[in-house]
């Protein structure tokens, strides 16, 4: 065993979370109090690491604002040392968002910790989240460190974070494949140096609920100090939510989650699933509560889906389109008699009720802005001007415009609000069953227009090829998805396109009642993101490509 004999603080600190959530070693077995379950949202950090997601600073801020309305306790805003863009986004969120504490991720390197603190220093409440890998696989093949070296890194990194902030979280990456003896030494050292949250990452989704729950229980029993235990579960075996709940039942009082369960590989534990499981099964979690405004869940899900370009599967629990749909006759009969026969959740409690805001072609700018404000969307400047023009254009094609339509328009305009980006000025297409389809596009950028024409295998293909001819990105199509925003033959088509070039993968989204136009808008949005990604200035931290967090 590694000798853990470093001098450290006693770990007795004050953290800005519910006192009933902070369980000291001596009262870990006292379950009489109502415990606050800390909801730590990592959509903007771990969620954004999913392939093809590349959010602009404004998009990140929009999501952060919605997360604040949702009522999360912590927003992990990013990994400040990874790039200048990530630093700027974390700093902007720290300066603008009030309510949740803002967290930044950091490796144990002192320079990383200092950079993280610099991004967070203007926040009302902030936390530094320090991590290092502890499994044999990670230490040998990725870190190329011995256990002794890792333990020294924990000592140095956590102690440095503690010099900056009282609220410090520590994560032993790949904890579920780490030997228990070494894991406990590392956790003990983190507490000695002042960590106030011990996060247990199931980094590769290796955990099984009963086994993971037992690990959390052992940590509570055997690691002395005043800290909160947290879970961070990945979904490689489809068990991220189950493992998180097993952790909560065993005493964890923080869960690290993502909206819609997005994230690397198969994703992370889904915020909406964990929260509603705790709410609905109070018999299993009688002393646990969250501060989440569940009526904002569906809206948050839609916003994240549209800005990331990751569609929500129809049968997704809580927020999927079919979550409250019934087709079988017996089910329909039961629900018509009493919804409780086949629904354990009232759809209204998660924001899944029908849209209440309806606008039309006679609605003016004031009504448009007022509707957005009531939805909790506070756009301004060029975004609101362009969105209003899109709204008036849509109103000429569609009899009624719903809340979901407005959200889609705003989400697209935020995504297109990129400095020096291309703007679609006009699109003409022709095609049919005879002959090749043709498209002509006019794009504007920096005050000048660029025009191109192309033929294709259908009008969508022709339109996208014309945009490629005008922009010359050399990108290849990596994915195409089309769905409808609402029902009806005049519904907005919601198209997501993924492009790949030079090992960079990005997504773009477009909406229109014309699916060809929506596809062109999505392709152009992806082009703008690709150009921005290629021009983005990054610091030269070579190890970050393999070491991106719990």
- 507-527 confidence digits (pLDDT tens): 888 888 889 999 999 999 889
Tell me, what's the pLDDT at 159? Answer: 98
DSSP state of 542: G
Determine the straight-line distance between the first and last CA of the chain, rounded to whole angstroms: 24
- pLDDT tens-place string over residues 486-503: 767 777 788 889 899 888
Q: Is the pLDDT at 418 greater than 50, yes or no?
A: no
* pLDDT for 241 beyond 80: yes
Over 80: is that where the pLDDT of 408 sits? Answer: no
* Residue 21 pLDDT > 80: no
pLDDT band at 356 (very low <50, low <70, confident <90, very high): low
- Has residue 530 got a pLDDT over 80? yes
What pLDDT is stored for residue 336 in this prediction?
Answer: 56
pLDDT band at 6 (very low <50, low <70, confident <90, very high): very low
pLDDT at 397: 73
- Residue 219 confidence class, pLDDT cut points 50, 70, 90: very high
Position 210 scores a pLDDT of: 97
Q: With contact defined as beta carbons under 8 Å apart, do 459 and 439 qualify?
A: yes
**Least confident span in 182-186, 352-356, 499-503:** 352-356
Q: Of 354, 279, 275, 273, which Cα lies nearest the Cα of 319?
A: 273
Query: Running DSSP on this structure, what letter comes out for residue 142?
Result: I
Tell me the longest C-alpha to C-alpha distance in the chain: 80
The three-state DSSP-derived secondary structure of 199-253 is: EEEECCCCCCHHHHHHHHHHHHHHCCCEEEEEEEEECCCCCHHHHHHHHHHCCCC
Name the least confident of 37-41, 177-181, 322-326.
322-326
Cα–Cα distance for residue pair 189/154, rounded to 1 Å: 7
Give Cβ neighbours of residue 432 (< 8 Å, ≥ 6 apart): none
DSSP-assigned letters across all residues of 352-374: -SPP--EE-TT--HHHHHHHHHH
- The pLDDT value given to residue 33: 41
**CA torsion, ordered 273, 278, 280, 282, to nearest 10 deg:** 170
Kindly give the pairing relationship between strand 168-173 and strand 126-133: parallel
Closest CA to 49 of 105, 102, 91: 105
Residues making up the chain, counted from first to last: 550
**Residue 157: alpha-carbon gap to chain centroid:** 26
Block residue for tokens 């230490």: 139
pLDDT in tens, 358-397: 677 777 788 888 877 777 677 777 778 888 888 888 777 7
For 456, phi then psi, to 5°, come to -160, 175
What does DSSP say about strands 38-41 and 254-257: parallel, antiparallel, or unpaired? parallel
SS3 412: helix
Report the pLDDT value the prediction gives residue 332, as an integer from 0 to 100: 52
**Band of pLDDT at residue 337, cut at 50, 70 and 90:** low
- pLDDT, tens digit, for every residue of 47-71? 999 888 888 888 899 999 999 999 9
Q: Is the Cβ–Cβ distance between 259 and 273 less than 8 Å?
A: no
DSSP state of 268: B
pLDDT for 541 equals 42
Q: Which of 4-18, 300-314, 341-355, 409-423 has the lowest mean pLDDT?
A: 4-18
The DSSP output letter for 420 is T
Percent with pLDDT over 90 in the chain: 56
Would you say residue 125 has pLDDT above 70? yes
Query: For the ranges 97-101, 196-200, 256-260, 469-473, which has the lowest average pLDDT?
Result: 469-473
Which helix (H) or strand (E) segment holds residue 198: the answer is strand 197-202
**Burial group, residue 391, by CB count within 10 angstroms (0-12, 13-18, 19+):** buried
Q: Considering the chain, what is the average pLDDT of its residues?
A: 85
Residue 483, pLDDT > 60, answer yes
pLDDT band at 286 (very low <50, low <70, confident <90, very high): very high
By the 10 Å C-beta count (0-12 exposed, 13-18 middle, 19+ buried), 550 is classed as buried
* pTM over cut 0.85: no
């Amino acid at each position: 065993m590694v000798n853990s004999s470093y001098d450290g603080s006693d770990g007795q600190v004050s953290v800005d979370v519910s006192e009933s959530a902070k369980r000291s070693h001596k009262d870990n077995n006292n379950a009489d109090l109502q415990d606050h379950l800390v909801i730590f949202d990592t959509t903007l950090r771990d969620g954004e690491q999913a392939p093809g997601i590349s959010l602009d600073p404004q998009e990140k801020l929009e999501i952060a604002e919605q997360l604040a309305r949702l009522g999360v306790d912590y927003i992990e805003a990013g990994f400040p040392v990874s790039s200048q863009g990530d630093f700027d986004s974390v700093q902007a969120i720290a300066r603008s968002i009030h309510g949740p504490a803002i967290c930044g991720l950091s490796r144990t390197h002192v320079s990383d910790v200092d950079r993280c603190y610099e991004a967070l220093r203007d926040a009302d409440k902030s936390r530094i989240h320090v991590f290092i890998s502890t499994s044999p696989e990670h230490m040998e093949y990725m870190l190329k460190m011995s256990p002794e070296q890792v333990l020294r890194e924990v000592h140095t990194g956590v102690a440095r974070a503690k010099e900056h902030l009282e609220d410090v979280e520590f994560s032993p990456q790949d904890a579920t494949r780490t030997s228990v003896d070494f894991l406990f030494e590392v956790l003990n050292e983190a507490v000695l140096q002042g960590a106030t949250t011990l996060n247990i990452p199931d980094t590769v989704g290796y955990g099984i609920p009963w086994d993971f729950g037992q690990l959390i229980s052992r940590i509570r029993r055997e690691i002395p100090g005043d800290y909160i235990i947290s879970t961070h579960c990945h979904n490689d075996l489809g068990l991220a939510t189950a493992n998180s709940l097993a952790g909560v039942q065993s005493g964890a009082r923080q869960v690290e989650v993502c909206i819609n369960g997005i994230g690397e590989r198969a994703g992370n534990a889904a915020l909406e699933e964990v929260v509603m499981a705790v709410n609905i099964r109070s018999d299993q979690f009688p002393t646990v509560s969250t501060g989440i405004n569940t009526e904002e869940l569906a809206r948050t899900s839609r916003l994240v889906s549209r800005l990331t370009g990751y569609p929500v599967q129809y049968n997704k629990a809580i927020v999927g389109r079919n979550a409250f749909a019934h087709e079988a006759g017996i089910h329909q009969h039961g629900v018509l008699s009493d919804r409780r026969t086949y629904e354990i959740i009232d759809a209204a409690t998660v924001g899944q009720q029908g849209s209440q805001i309806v606008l039309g072609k006679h609605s003016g700018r004031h009504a448009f802005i007022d509707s957005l404000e009531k939805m909790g969307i506070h756009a301004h400047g060029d975004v609101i001007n362009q969105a209003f023009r899109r709204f008036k254009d849509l109103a000429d094609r569609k009899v009624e415009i719903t809340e979901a339509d407005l959200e889609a328009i705003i989400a697209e305009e935020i995504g297109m609000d990129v400095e020096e980006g291309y703007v679609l000025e006009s699109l003409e297409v022709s095609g049919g069953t005879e002959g090749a389809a043709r498209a002509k596009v006019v794009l504007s950028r920096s005050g000048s227009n660029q025009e191109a024409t192309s033929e294709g295998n259908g009008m969508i293909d022709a339109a996208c090829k014309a945009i490629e001819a005008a922009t010359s990105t050399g990108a290849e199509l990596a994915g195409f998805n089309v769905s409808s925003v609402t029902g009806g033959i005049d519904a907005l088509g919601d198209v997501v396109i993924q492009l790949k070039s030079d090992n960079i993968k990005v997504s773009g989204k477009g909406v229109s009642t014309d699916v060809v136009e929506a596809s062109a808008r999505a392709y152009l949005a992806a082009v703008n993101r690709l150009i921005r990604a290629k021009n983005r200035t990054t610091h030269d931290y070579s190890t970050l490509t393999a070491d991106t967090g719990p």
